[in-house]
Amino acid sequence: MKIKICGMTNVEDALAAVEAGADAVGFVFHHASPRRVTADVVKRIVAQLPPFVLPVGVFVNEDVKIVRDWMDDCGLVVAQLHGDEAAAYCDLLGRPVLKAIRLKDRGSLLSLAEYKGRLRVRGFVLDAFSTVSYGGTGQVTDWTLAAEAARSAPVILAGGLTPENVAEAIQKVKPYGVDVSSGVESRPGRKDHAKMRAFIKAAKLA
């Protein structure tokens, strides 16, 4: 089970996540997020990550050139696109992509077909639908819909995951990986190291 801890804002939290067993760490560049970070902060954190830990940039409806520049400048390996980016955007970006799909109903599953088979799209992050935010809300994703999606595509389950429910979520959805942010925080942008350890342990055991 692959595990990504998202919303990193400082070196201490990122290294604690890695020490606990995280496979990837995420950095949010969206201006409306309470976990937003600057390129300078991300560069300092990425420079201290050990080999084989994947640094991921989270972007929302950002200009293609800006995303490319930020990724190259910060040493980010994957772009997690959490907005309304079309399949053509993913092609134009020219970087490995995780496309986020916010599951509202069965119609949301049709969105996957637009991106499946695209060279740059390596998988999908399934998050809860919200009318007020593109992610990081703590709302639990519809696991039934997520399980259906996981049968036909590599998915990373996000949305409302916690140390208490991640094992059940994995058993029901059977995703390739899980992605957590608010569920392991002491406050927005600051991670609770004990919660991260508990989350990763529960996910690995599941």
3-state secondary structure 116-155: CCCCCEEEEEEEECCCCCCCCCCCCCCHHHHHHHHCCCCE
Q: Is 84 a catalytic residue?
A: no
User: If residue 28 lies in a helix (H) or strand (E), which one and from where to where?
Assistant: strand 24-28
Give the per-residue pLDDT at 131. Answer: 53
Residue tagged active-site, from 6, 74, 90, 179: 6
| Three-state DSSP state, 156 | strand
Cβ atoms within 10 A of the Cβ of 157, count?
Answer: 29
Q: Is 90 a catalytic residue?
A: no
Residue tagged active-site, from 13, 74, 90, 127: 127
User: What is the token pair recorded at 13?
Assistant: 């939290």
- Tokens 């991921």 belong to 56
CA 133 – CA 97 distance, rounded (Å): 21
The one-digit pLDDT tens for each residue of the chain (206 residues) are 999 999 999 999 999 999 999 999 999 999 999 999 999 999 999 999 999 999 999 999 999 999 999 999 999 999 999 999 999 999 999 999 999 999 988 888 888 888 988 889 999 999 987 655 555 566 899 999 999 999 999 999 999 999 999 999 999 999 999 999 999 999 999 999 999 999 999 999 99
Distances from the Cα of 140 to the Cαs of 87, 126, 127, 157, 185, in angstroms? 26, 10, 8, 10, 16
CA 161 – CA 199 distance, rounded (Å): 9
Give the per-residue pLDDT at 106. Answer: 86
Contact by Cβ (8 Å): 137, 114: no
Give the per-residue pLDDT at 133. Answer: 56
User: What is the token pair recorded at 7?
Assistant: 């919303």
Q: Is 113 exposed, middle or buried (0-12, 13-18, 19+ CB in 10 A)?
A: exposed
The topology under which CATH files domain 2-205 is TIM Barrel (3.20.20)
| Three-state DSSP state, 11 | helix
- Every domain of the chain and the residues it spans: 2-205
Q: What is the pTM of this model?
A: 0.94
